[in-house]
Structure 1
Amino acid sequence: MGNTSKKLAAKCTLLTKEEQKYLAATFRAASKNSDKIREEDLIVSGKVDAVLLERVWGPQIDPRLAQYLSNFLFGSGPQKAASCDFNRFAELYVYNVRGTTDERMMVTYNSLGMDYNDSVELPYQLLREYCESIASTFIKVLKATTSKRAQVWITKGFRGRASHVQALGEAVAASVNTDSDTAINQCSATQLSKWLQLNILLQQMTEMVFVNLYGINRDETSSPALHTAPSLLPMPHGLDPMPDYPAFIDLSHIVWLNAHLPQHYQHKWRFLFSSHIHGESFSTMAGRIQDQGASLIIIEDNSGYIFGGFATASWALGPNFTGTDESFLFTVAPKMRVYPATSYNKHYQYLNHHAKTLPNGLLMGGQFNFGGIFVNADPFGEGSCAESCTTYKGYKRLSKEPTYRIRSLEVWGVGDKPLTEKESDERDLSVLDKSPEAKAILDMAGRTRHSEGIREPPPL
């Protein structure tokens, strides 16, 4: 690292010492060892030179995001500067990774070529394109990473297709409005402030994007204390035995759905059932998904719509509804939306087979014969989605038609598999409980068995 970069980095109080090292190296590459990055290093004839940008930020950056970053670094319009210094370069990183709401507001406005103040409204179309550029760069980063969890998904056929990535960006932007499906033309500063505070997915994607663009943790020997962004991808379990997995959802769908799960389920998805692999059999599906804990049901209908539900309770055959208000329904194609539970009723999930007087099938939300999602047991392969569903807020019919044919159906357990009653009992036993001989020897020697004094009482 050159002395100039070291001196500049040392002056930037926004950065930790570890961050100074990495950002100074990235700045040196962009500025050709000088104390400023010139506009012409990044811009040619008023347009972003993608080739030059790729040398600095790598091939994963979306061209639109490159232009937004240039707007922040150099300004836009008549006030555009010819160069920027290290502090401005560092501010772009810090404000995006751990900035306050006001700092992130300022970055968003400046990146979109506007001055930030409370009275200025932001065109929604600009905000949408900004979110799409973040989502696009985020997926490019995922696809370029050597992370095992990302590579397992990718090698099994889960891609980051452009149309789905665009839908992910649109969904993130649409949440700026109370009703995501109501079109708006402008966003007020108040709307944007609340949106930036509540939109955890946007913040996590932005964080990972800038950590990568600025060269943080580029090598594996860097300090573990250095701030790093979460991957947002769960670790997939159960796909290894299948070399040709028939994936029909996208990396963008996995990111979107995982971000909406309760946090303690986000680390792992366990493959349970696929209609393409295990056959179109309701009995087979029911057998494979019972006693597996919380799960995601994902369905593709014969029109290409992809939708489903998050069930919080283990599936079990029976006449009653189960589940909790953490459950939700969702759609991921042609657009991405999540419909959380209401308090109107508790009809979250239902599974039954071979019943004489009750529906046979899998149902989430609504009423018998009018479910938010219904998968028929016999004949398997048919389903329906009601026009309305009071169990889930903002619900709109998920399938293209009220009744549909199932093209694909899969079920994933999320989080760790719950212990069976036998496994739970065994875990509560101490080593001495399993070895009466050792217990007797301690008694003969007059030794105290301390574990018995601190063992938790059994549940009532």
Structure 2
Amino acid sequence: MGNTESVVVQKRLTRFRPEERPVIEGVFDRLQGGAGGPSGAPGKTPAGKTLTLEMLQSSMGSLAPDSMVRRIYQCMCRIDPGMAAPAASGKTSTPTASGVGREQLVIFLADTMRGTAEERAPLVLAMSQHGAGAAAVVTCEQVAEFLQDLISAVVQILVHRGRLQAWKPEKMGDGSLGVKLLAEQMCSELKPSDQGACDVSCLEDWIFRVSQVSLYLEMLVAEGLNVSLSSRLAPTLLPPCRETPWKELRCLLDLPVLMFLAPQLPDSYNAPWRLVFSTQLHGESFTRVVTGLTNCGPTLLLIKDTKGHVFGGFASHAWEVKPQFQGDSRCFLFTVFPRLRVYTATGYNQHFMYLNHSQQTMPNGLGMGGQHGYFGLWLDSEFGRGHSRARPKCTTYGSPQLSGEEDFTLDSMEVWAVGKPPEPEEGEEGQGKRSVLHMDPEVQAIMEMTGKTLHSQGFREPEEDQE
């Protein structure tokens, strides 16, 4: 190394613990040694020279789209070890001609895994560009394309590394659509110039505010290049899933949407997600919805209307059937399709949650936000009909119209319990609300033999020793 480059690299290495520095410095030689293919046979390139695109593909190919691998390679090639950042326009050679030097790789690893928003912004700029030439700005569309590749890689890592937390992608929604929705949502936080361009300062501000950019990038680099550091814990991007009958279910969620929604919940809501109602499994009955909602703690509601819009709400409290509003400011509404967005409490009023049934004087149904007859989200007790009214915004959550039409027809619905169920009241000892099916298994067997449908079976709380 030259003196200038050596100082830059040594400063980067100080970000890592002493026992981690040999790992970082050893990545270059390991990538060259593994370029011969899956068997790990040495490649044709002599050690100590440069890393080629093929060497990077050999390491990352199973965990990231080829387009993402090429973006990373292109970015590494543009790093000027003297400047410790991707070179400006006109100061870089064609990536395929030069390859990646040891110093470039160390700087890239340090900035993606331990860098600041200021240091990561030039890398994102370089990875968002097309072709060999370097540019000072990129468009929002180019950033969105980069994000789609990055999110796709993260999803592949979750699948290949067995970190799905019992979710079943093959039984869930279209993951490729979810990737586009999440990329668009993250891009919506960009603040480009009046001409729609994003320079380094724009990207720096964005990376600072949107933490997923750094999280996903670090995860891809660490997993794709197999950089195992003692201080790094693999992030848990998905909540645990329990007691879900996947054989009979086609879930409205997909992995990228789940990656977006789960972090929106309050920090204390870290219990496994449990499906407590689904029109696909339990039919179209408001009584069944109420049975699924009550006594299971905080919930996430998902609704798809006949126009294809997918939306819902998070209820921070266990639902109660009563003619008053309930809940608190941790509740929110959200949309999944055609836009992935979350709408939180405005403080204007406290009309967070409403659930009423079989009353003559008050509206019967489920509502979130707004007011009677003008809810941000309403599902009528005459199951199948609802509305989302906002002219221009819901007063409680500041949300626009969530559904395809103001008065919508329901296509399907799911309710997920996402928090710890409430403790039984004193004196109940967990037994007070059990049905006869819990108390006498013989009754259950007789009912099954006579062809009776056990409607309550899907809503019972699990035993303590069950997963």
My pick for the range that moved more, 89-98 or 410-419, is: 89-98
Change (3 A) 1:129 1:61: same
Paired residue for 1:214, among 225, 246, 250?
225
- Provide the C-alpha distance between the structure 1 equivalents of 2:200 and 2:427, rounded to a whole number of angstroms: 53
Residue 286 of structure 1 is matched in structure 2 by 290
One-letter identity of the residue aligned with 2:58: R
Residue 433 of structure 2 is matched in structure 1 by none
- Provide the C-alpha distance between the structure 1 equivalents of 2:149 and 2:271, rounded to a whole number of angstroms: 26
Residue 179 of structure 2 is matched in structure 1 by 165
State the Cα distance separating 1:24 from its structure 2 match: 5.3
Q: Is the 8 A contact 2:172 2:251 kept in 1?
A: yes
Residue 99 of structure 2 is matched in structure 1 by 83
One-letter identity of the residue aligned with 2:48: D
User: Matches of residues 98-177 of structure 1 in structure 2 within 5 Å?
Assistant: 98-113=114-129, 122-147=138-163, 149=165, 152-154=166-168, 157-158=171-172, 161-177=175-191
1:375 aligns with 2:379: yes
Secondary structure of residue in 1 paired with 2:404: coil
User: Matches of residues 344-383 of structure 1 in structure 2 within 5 Å?
Assistant: 344-378=348-382, 380-383=383-386
- Provide the C-alpha distance between the structure 2 equivalents of 1:366 and 1:209, rounded to a whole number of angstroms: 42
Secondary structure of residue in 2 paired with 1:320: strand
Q: Is the 8 A contact 2:27 2:227 kept in 1?
A: no
One-letter identity of the residue aligned with 2:319: W
Give the structure with the higher percent helix.
1
State the Cα distance separating 1:282 from its structure 2 match: 0.8
One-letter identity of the residue aligned with 2:175: R
Q: Deviations over 1:271-290 (max 9, x none)?
A: 21111111111111111211
Residue 450 of structure 2 is matched in structure 1 by none
Paired residue for 1:235, among 225, 236, 240?
240
One-letter identity of the residue aligned with 1:138: V
One-letter identity of the residue aligned with 2:280: H
Percentage of matched positions with identical amino acids: 27
Q: Deviations over 1:100-122 (max 9, x none)?
A: 121122322233359xxxxx654
- Provide the C-alpha distance between the structure 1 equivalents of 2:137 and 2:101, rounded to a whole number of angstroms: 29
User: Matches of residues 18-37 of structure 1 in structure 2 within 5 Å?
Assistant: 19-20=20-21, 22-23=23-24, 26-32=27-33, 34-37=47-50
Secondary structure of residue in 2 paired with 1:277: helix
State the Cα distance separating 1:177 from its structure 2 match: 4.2
- Provide the C-alpha distance between the structure 2 equivalents of 1:384 and 1:291, rounded to a whole number of angstroms: 26
Q: Is the 8 A contact 1:342 1:390 kept in 2?
A: no
Q: Is the 8 A contact 2:377 2:388 kept in 1?
A: yes
CA RMSD of superposed structures (Å): 3.1
Change (3 A) 1:171 1:90: same
One-letter identity of the residue aligned with 1:28: D
Residue 248 of structure 2 is matched in structure 1 by 244
- Provide the C-alpha distance between the structure 1 equivalents of 2:284 and 2:396, rounded to a whole number of angstroms: 28
- Provide the C-alpha distance between the structure 2 equivalents of 1:99 and 1:105, rounded to a whole number of angstroms: 10
Q: Is the 8 A contact 2:333 2:397 kept in 1?
A: no
Return the TM-score normalized by structure 1. Answer: 0.77
Paired residue for 1:261, among 259, 265, 270?
265
Secondary structure of residue in 2 paired with 1:343: coil
State the Cα distance separating 1:16 from its structure 2 match: 3.6
1:410 aligns with 2:423: no
Residue 314 of structure 1 is matched in structure 2 by 318
Q: Is the 8 A contact 1:135 1:169 kept in 2?
A: yes
Return the TM-score normalized by structure 2. Answer: 0.76
State the Cα distance separating 1:299 from its structure 2 match: 0.5
1:61 aligns with 2:64: yes
Q: Deviations over 1:19-74 (max 9, x none)?
A: 45655564334334622434xx21xxxxxx6xx64312132212332232122211
State the Cα distance separating 1:226 from its structure 2 match: 3.4
Change (3 A) 1:387 1:84: same
Q: Is the 8 A contact 1:339 1:392 kept in 2?
A: no
Residue 440 of structure 1 is matched in structure 2 by none
Q: Deviations over 1:220-269 (max 9, x none)?
A: xxx7x430231210000121x45222222211111111121122224521
- Provide the C-alpha distance between the structure 1 equivalents of 2:200 and 2:170, rounded to a whole number of angstroms: 43
Residue 455 of structure 1 is matched in structure 2 by none
- Provide the C-alpha distance between the structure 2 equivalents of 1:131 and 1:183, rounded to a whole number of angstroms: 22
One-letter identity of the residue aligned with 2:31: A
Change (3 A) 1:423 1:301: farther
State the Cα distance separating 1:317 from its structure 2 match: 0.5
The answer for unaligned runs of 5 or more in structure 1 is 1-7, 43-48, 115-119, 218-222, 427-460
Secondary structure of residue in 2 paired with 1:61: coil
The answer for unaligned runs of 5 or more in structure 2 is 1-8, 34-45, 79-86, 131-135, 431-467
Secondary structure of residue in 1 paired with 2:143: helix
1:384 aligns with 2:387: yes
